[in-house]
Structure formats: structure tokens, C-alpha cells
Structure 1
Amino acid sequence: MSIDVRGQRMVTVGVVDTVPLFRDGLATLIERTPWARMVAHSASQQGCLVMIDQLHPDVVLLASELAPQCQFIHTLTTGGDAPRVVVVVSDPDRNARYVAGAMAAGAYGALVRNADPHRFADAIRSVWHSHRYLDPVLRAMVGSVEQSGAAAGNQGVQPLRMPLSRREFQVMQLIAEGMENAAIAKVLFLSVETVRTHVKSILRKLSARDRTHAVTIAFRSGLLQLTPLPPTETRSEENPVAAGSSPAS
């Protein structure tokens, strides 16, 4: 646990974005914020899961392109130890349908990618204190956070009825990469029997006939990306070896 000069607990932040320059910019902003500390950043969904499982950030800034149908947001925000997710909305997703769907899926906040730096700090502070945050630009589109759930239902952006857990999501990604149970067990340090249990749960939740059908459903629903990024791009400020990449320079 990190404590600032006033003896207060600092907010730990993780950044998940596909653009290195943007990640570095957010890292610099967070490092200059006296009450916040960046623990890691990643460029992929899988790296995001590793970061959350190993470093447990309080707040995660997530690029909207990594959650195209908001399903990944629901996965991240499910469970008692879930971080508070703030979605950074790129231009293609800058519409009421997407923003409302993200909030309905469990995001605590959303702001546009080109927002002023102080708005990023405001968003992190607000969600850490359990207050929902919508960038003023997005608020004008959606109306209010309270209306987001209803808007999402009207627009058809809804999370899966039975969302995958973070571990099930990891297994689902490895299934999509063509791995069999034994290989998945080795990668995730699980028993083969535990992997089988996760696979059965995935098939049940997705109402899939078999593994191939589950992969098809996962892509069509937006749960998985059509072009997933490598899972080894988490870069940790605390524990780079555990996160699977080299130390920050």
C-alpha cells in the first residue's frame, strides 16, 4: 500500500491502451498527480487481466476499442475485487449508444480520448470516491448516468446474461488461439480438471454446442476482438517480471 506525504492512501491506476504514446502520456500525468500512482500499463485484453490479477489497481483506464461491444467491461467489473473502470472513448465509439452501454456494463466513468489532462485526474478521483463520472461532452449525448441503463436497453447494447469471470475470459482467449486443455492448464498454472470445469462453464454461459461454437459466439458478441493483441504487453512499475515484460525505463 502506498501512502502520500499527508499519510493518506494513494490511488493505484492501471492503463490499458493500444497506442504507446498515449499510454506514456497518461503515465506521466499520473506520476505528476500527488495522490495517485501508476502500477502498470498494457496494450491488450489479456495483459489487462494479468495486471488486475497480479497488481490489483484501484482504477483502470480502458480504451474503448478494447471493449467494442462493452462485454469486456462487464468481465472486468464482475467480482468482489473488481477495479473501477473508466472507459477512454475513441472517436468511432463517441456516441450515446456506446457510452450508455459501457456504463450499463459496469464502467464507473467515461471520458473522451482528447479530454484535457485535468479531466482524466477528475475522473480517477471521482470513481475512486465511488462517484460516477461522465465527461461533459459525453453527458450532453447520454443525458445522465442514471439514464444510461435504460438507453443501453433501448439501443441493444447489453452485456451477456451470464458474464464470464476473468479466469473464464482468459481460458476463452486461449481456446480462441487453438489451445487444448492441457496447454491452457500449463499457461495459466491450473490443473487440467480445473480447465475442463471452466470450459464447461463457458459453454453453458454462452449457450454454445462446443468450443468452436463458443469462439464464434465470443467474436460475434464482441467479447473477444477479431484481431487480438499479444498477451505479453503488460508493463509493471512494481513487478515487471510477474506482469510478463521488461521493467519501465
Structure 2
Amino acid sequence: MRRIEPNRTLGSASGPPAGARSLGVAAVDPVPLLREGLAAMVHRTQGLHWAGMAASHHAAMQLCEQVRPDVVVLDSALDPHCHLTRLLSTGDPALVIVTLIRDANRTQQYLATAIAAGAHAIVPRSIDPRRLAEAVRRAHSDRRYIDPSLAALTARPKRQPAPRAALPDDTAPPRAAMPLSRREYQVLQLVAEGLENSAIAKLLFLSVETVRTHVKSILRKLSARDRTHAVTIAFRSGILIAKPDDSIAPASPVAPAAASQVPH
């Protein structure tokens, strides 16, 4: 049983009844106010406890590896191609992923891609706290929940016309499937942030030689000449994404002892 004691600095809700299981909920969202709002909602909801927060793909994977929450609430803008959803789902099949879908991603294609990647629930990002708490519970118990307001997106999509011939690479690069392993993806994220191998090794608790091996594998898989070329290819193909417009600088890496703490 995975359990993290809740931080009771926010909210006044009592814990779950004796013997009942409390669900650890974490948030992956670029907006500090929304992350802290989720924390407040979790703290005042019986049967839930706060398991931590992250603002980037790298930090989200560290959070899930170190804290192992039961449920992750994920902003769709941070995962437009559902690569993070797939990596989190395959890394921990028991993890329940609840996607907060923004208007820009509110399409049949995104919904189908997110579910295929491992998302268990899709709800509007504007959802009220009470409905979000219910969605978290339903997703955990039923392993599938689609908010009623998104029901139209679950209809069978119309037959699409055959795609046009591909354009030159420098005009419209195709969106690639995720070719990298979970750890390679973390390393690539940090390479894109400008970190050298020694700094990456410290953040991921790896040896420098192991990081070098991952970098060599990334270059080979992406057919890249060097680290800069690999990052360029990753952004052009959708493997890496630019920060959402309302994001801030990436959060610091999550430490196990502090991951469940809510900033004041």
C-alpha cells in the first residue's frame, strides 16, 4: 500500500475514517496558483492527501519515482503529444492519471491519444473543486472517467480524407512517436536546459558515465550530430515542447523528503 502522510498546513479537513485508504494526489502544472489551489482542495477533501507538485516533465518523473503518488493531475498544455502520460503510465501501471484539458487541446484526437497513452480521466481545466475530487475518486475506482461536458468528444470521429504528401523537413516536420526510454527522456530534458553531464548525473543520482551512455543513445536514436542538434530535432518533432504561455521557470528537482510539502 502506498501512503504519504498529508501535510495539514492547508485546509481543516480530518483524515479518512480509521482503516480507510487515503489516496495520494500530486499535480503537474506550470501555474503555481493552480498547483497550490489543487493542494488546498486535496487537503480539505476526506480520503485524499497531498503528495507533491511539479512544473516540468523531468520534475514530474522524479516526483513519481521518489514519492509514488496514487493519482497525478496533469495539465494538457504540458503534454500536448501525451509523451509524458505514456512514460508515467508505463513507469507505474498502478498510477492513475487525470488530465486537465485546456480549450486548445479539446479535440477528439487529443482525447483518444491521451486515453491510448494511459490517461484514466479527462476533465476540463476549468472544473470546480468538488467535481475534480469526484473525478479523482471515480478514476481511481473505475480506471476510467470522462467529464460529462466532454461527452461529445467521445463520439466516433468522422472518416478523415487521405493525408496529403509530406512536405519538406524544414517546412512541416512530422510529429514523431516517443523513441526514447524514460531515463533518456529525462536526460534530454536536462540537456535542453543547458546542463552538462556532471550536473545531470547529480540531479538524477547517476554516474557521469551512465549519463554519457544515455546521451550517446539519444544521439543515435534521433540521428543527431551533437547535443544541440538532438535538442533541435526533439523540439521540431514534438518530443520536447516549449513552455506553455502561462508557465514560469521550471521548478527545482523534487526531493523525496520535501515532495509532499506545500509552499507557503
Q: TM-score, normalised by structure 2?
A: 0.76
2:88 maps to which residue?
76
| 2:228 is equivalent to residue 239 of structure 1 | no
Report if aligned partners of 1:45, 1:231 keep a CA contact under 8 Å in 2.
no
Query: For residues 177 and 234 of structure 1, do their structure 2 counterparts lie closer, same or farther at Cα, with a shift above 3 Å needed?
Result: closer
Deviations 1:57-81 (A, max 9, x none): 1110011111122222222222246
Report if aligned partners of 1:235, 1:247 keep a CA contact under 8 Å in 2.
no
Deviations 1:86-136 (A, max 9, x none): 110112112222222211222111110112323212221122225211111
1:218 to 217, 229, 234: 234
In 2, the alpha carbon distance for the partners of 1:52 and 1:79 equals: 9
Query: For residues 201 and 9 of structure 1, do their structure 2 counterparts lie closer, same or farther at Cα, with a shift above 3 Å needed?
Result: farther
1:91 maps to which residue?
103
| 2:209 is equivalent to residue 173 of structure 1 | no
CA drift of 1:232 comes to: 2.9
In 1, the alpha carbon distance for the partners of 2:227 and 2:211 equals: 13
Deviations 1:145-188 (A, max 9, x none): xx69x99xx9xx987253531x2222011211233323322332
SS in 2 for 1:198: helix
Q: Which moved more, 1:203-212 or 1:102-111?
A: 203-212
Query: For residues 158 and 126 of structure 1, do their structure 2 counterparts lie closer, same or farther at Cα, with a shift above 3 Å needed?
Result: farther
Query: For residues 231 and 20 of structure 1, do their structure 2 counterparts lie closer, same or farther at Cα, with a shift above 3 Å needed?
Result: closer
Equivalence map 1:2-151=2 (5 Å): 4-80=16-92, 83-143=95-155
SS in 1 for 2:60: helix
Give the alignment's Cα RMSD to 1 decimal.
3.1
In 2, the alpha carbon distance for the partners of 1:235 and 1:55 equals: 9
Deviations 1:195-242 (A, max 9, x none): 122223333444545433321232123332224854435788x832xx
SS in 2 for 1:129: helix
Report if aligned partners of 1:72, 1:223 keep a CA contact under 8 Å in 2.
no
| 2:207 is equivalent to residue 183 of structure 1 | no
- Which protein is richer in helix relative to its size? 1
- Alignment-mate amino acid for residue 179 of structure 2: M
1:202 maps to which residue?
218
Q: Which structure would you say has the larger Rg?
A: 2
Aligned length: 236
In 2, the alpha carbon distance for the partners of 1:229 and 1:58 equals: 26
Unaligned 5+ residue runs, structure 1? Answer: none
Report if aligned partners of 1:13, 1:60 keep a CA contact under 8 Å in 2.
yes
- Alignment-mate amino acid for residue 232 of structure 1: A
Q: Which runs of 4+ in 1 moved over 6 A?
A: none
Identity %: 45
